[in-house]
A and B are shown apart, each in its own frame.
Chain A
Amino acid sequence: MKLITAIIKPFKLDDVREALSEIGVTGVTATEVKGFGRQKGHTELYRGAEYVVDFLPKVKLEIAIDSGLLDSVIEAITKAANTGKIGDGKIFVTSIEQAIRIRTGETGAEAL
């Protein structure tokens, strides 16, 4: 089992969700987050005074999947979230030691 953590541009959320559904991913957790990478921040203006926004809004997706799906999930996200411009985000993959479905007590891949 793998946990995929993907940081994407917020407006790409729908595209990514659709792409994941198509390849059979049954659950995604999305969080609104802020951060900076190479894109850095940008300056905004209010009543004549500039201020720097260092942390830009992003969406963080957490997807727990069976290891067999890993390559197709990565491909789906990479394709759907890509704009070709700086700030498209990143995908991190970690291993899951154990997964349990709270309602039934099922464990392992059955619980995903």
Chain B
Amino acid sequence: MESQVTELAYAVDTFYFLVMGAFVMWMAAGFSMLEAGLVRSKSTVEILTKNIALYSVASIMYMVVGYNIMYPGDGVSAFWPGISFFLGGDNTAEGVIASGGDTYYSNLSDFFFQVVFVATAMSIVSGAVAERMKLWSFLLFAVVMCGFIYPMQGYWKWGGGFLDQNGFLDFAGSGVVHLTGACAAIAGVILLGARKGKYTSDGKVVAIPGANLPLATLGTFILWLGWFGFNGGSELKVSDVGEANAVAMIFVNTNAAAAGGVIAALIAARLAFGKADLSMALNGAIAGLVAITAEPLTPTPGWATMIGAVGGVLVVFSVVLLDKMKIDDPVGAISAHGTVGIWGLLAVCITNEEAALTAQLLGIVVIFMWVFVVSLIAWGIIKVIMGIRISEEDEELGADYSECGMEAYPEFVIK
């Protein structure tokens, strides 16, 4: 009887893990729609191609080598995990029963849950470099990012490496996923430069409105939904009262933070610009979600709302500031995931007694330096080999035409 309970609990937790992973997979759809909505219609096909291709590159690279780098079992050292290839086998019923409940989910369900996180980090990059990057250069970078850059820092934290040993806390990845994506993005954007016509010669910012705000809104709602898997699944377990309550708390806090982010961003935009900017409200939702991701369990729902709200305010001013610095990020990814990711990691200290500010700062600095520097080198090498930016003429015509040779809405054009 007891062994049956153990097996059942294993099945429940594995099932929970897989379904939450599928929720996170759906975030790829959210990013696709958000990005397709916030670029111009002439860049729609290319950004959609990028999104579905990067998801696939992430799936393959993480299976081939990334997962093994991030979770080597026994790493060579706290800094270097060692390299091995392809996934290992799964647990046996005897092994699970013998563990007495310590082994409580399938190894492959763990891989599945982790692989969709890599894709999330890579999706962040695609929005920031939109409308002007070469498709194949981007996908080549995705190979490096998903097979090496992301798994290395992932090992340092979630794989049990030196950041984990130093007490750095990051529950579901404000740093490991979101800050990482943003740092790779900012390195790419610096080498790439702004979209043509985004800044005038006398330094003024020219608005380039997104083509389809209904799609952007749908994408944001999809991301919001997927985030319940992102944070809720990261509890890893649901099969007893304590864990089930923890998962419920995480769902409530994740929702509260997103709501706080929207309202705060909307009010901040209204006060700063005089109008209720929808694109900022959407960024506010993402910001609230990113902010709570580092610690969605210990805050009360009230605190979660506040943490999300601070993220919502930060994202508005971060977008404006980056524009002042001529860092052109069409979808606000660097602000929503980077600036607010840092805030999320610091906010852990507010409600989690085990958190130490020094450890959080260490994590932020290490992730930033590692991802930014290695990404800069990777983008730089790709730039030398094959270039990263489409020609000025192609940019004028649109990346859809130059990279994919088709239009998103061909029936609206007289041929």
Q: Which residues of A contact B (CB under 8 A)?
A: 44-51
Q: Who on chain B is nearest to A46 by CB?
A: B207
Contacts A50-B207, A51-B209 known; A45 to B275 CB distance under 8 Å?
Answer: yes
- Flag if B209 contacts A48 (CB, 8 Å): no
Chain B residues with Cβ below 8 Å from A49 are: 205-207, 323
Interface size range of chain B in the complex: 10 to 19
Chain A residues with Cβ below 8 Å from B277 are: 45-48
Chain A residues with Cβ below 8 Å from B209 are: 44, 46, 51
CA distance A50 to B277 in the complex (A): 12
- Flag if B323 contacts A45 (CB, 8 Å): no
B114 in the interface (beta carbon within 8 A): no
- Hey, what's the 0/1 contact readout for B316-333 against A, CB within 8 Å counting as 1? 100110010000000010
Q: Who on chain A is nearest to B204 by CB?
A: A49
Chain B residues with Cβ below 8 Å from A44 are: 207, 209
Min CB distance B29 to A, Å, is: 23
16 sampled A-B residue pairs with Cβ under 8 A: A45-B273, A46-B207, A46-B208, A46-B279, A47-B319, A47-B320, A47-B323, A47-B332, A48-B272, A48-B273, A48-B319, A48-B323, A49-B323, A50-B207, A51-B206, A51-B207
CA distance A49 to B321 in the complex (A): 12
Chain B residues with Cβ below 8 Å from A48 are: 205, 269, 272-273, 277, 280, 316, 319-320, 323
CA distance A49 to B205 in the complex (A): 6
Min CB distance B37 to A, Å, is: 13
Main secondary structure of the interface of A (DSSP, over half): strand
List the count of A-B residue pairs having beta carbons below 8 Å apart: 39
CA distance A49 to B194 in the complex (A): 15
Q: Who on chain A is nearest to B208 by CB?
A: A46
CA distance A50 to B207 in the complex (A): 6
- By CB atoms of chain B within 10 A, which of A46, A47, A50 has the most? A47
Interface residues of B in 5-20 (CB under 8 A from A): none
Interface residues of B in 264-298 (CB under 8 A from A): 269, 272-275, 277, 279-280
- By CB atoms of chain B within 10 A, which of A44, A48, A51 has the most? A48
Contact of B274 among A45, A46, A51 (CB under 8 A): A45
Chain B residues with Cβ below 8 Å from A51 are: 206-207, 209
Chain A residues with Cβ below 8 Å from B272 are: 48
Q: A48-B269, A48-B323, A49-B323 are in contact. List 8 more A-B contacts (CB 8 A).
A: A44-B209, A46-B209, A46-B277, A46-B279, A47-B319, A48-B205, A50-B207, A51-B206
Chain A residues with Cβ below 8 Å from B275 are: 45
Min CB distance A51 to B, Å, is: 4
Q: Who on chain A is nearest to B38 by CB?
A: A47
Q: Who on chain A is nearest to B210 by CB?
A: A46
Min CB distance A53 to B, Å, is: 10
Chain B residues with Cβ below 8 Å from A46 are: 207-210, 277, 279
- Hey, what's the 0/1 contact readout for B201-227 against A, CB within 8 Å counting as 1? 000011111100000000000000000
- Hey, what's the 0/1 contact readout for B192-205 against A, CB within 8 Å counting as 1? 00000000000001
